[in-house]
Amino acid sequence: MKQYNLGIEATLEIIGGKWKALIICLLMSGVKRTSELQRNIHGISQKVLIQQLRELEKDGLVSRHVYQQMPPKVEYSLTEYGVTANKIVDVMCSWGKENIQMRQQRGEDIVLLEEMLPDH
């Protein structure tokens, strides 16, 4: 029997890790192709991206649509359940934005490029 002390432990198992919250964040703005995701997630390798997407699919947050054509085309989108995770991802985005602003006011040499991304 699997035991959790706090709800947050289950959350961390599903969307914890280095990339998953970020992937969900990008999928929130709509359906995305593999290469589109990879271009927008700086530093992720194709292997890890696909691996994370498959895990999110297994957990029911993401659905994968393969088009039977050449060259291959695969699209990823959030499921109905995946969309419920926006509650988390939204606050993580806005809290992070405030954090960056605060650090900028303190004189740290950082920028948020958000506005320069496609789909914004």
Partner DNA sequence: TAAGATGGTTACTTCAAAGTAAGTACTGGA
Partner DNA sequence: TCCAGTACTTACTTTGAAGTAACCATCTTA
List of residues contacting DNA (CB under 7 A): 17-19, 33-35, 43-48, 50-52, 54, 64, 66, 70-74
Enumerate residues 6+ apart whose C-beta is below 8 A from 71: none
Nearer to DNA, 47 or 106 (CB): 47
Per-residue binding string, its own copies, 55-84, x by CB under 8 A, is -----------------------------x
Fill in the amino acid letter for 13.
E
Q: What is the CA radius of gyration of the chain?
A: 16
Complete edge-to-edge strand list for the sheet that includes strand 73-78: 32-33, 73-78, 62-67
Q: Which residues bind its own copies (CB under 8 A)?
A: 1-12, 14, 16, 18, 21-22, 25, 40, 42, 84-85, 87-89, 91-100, 108-114, 117
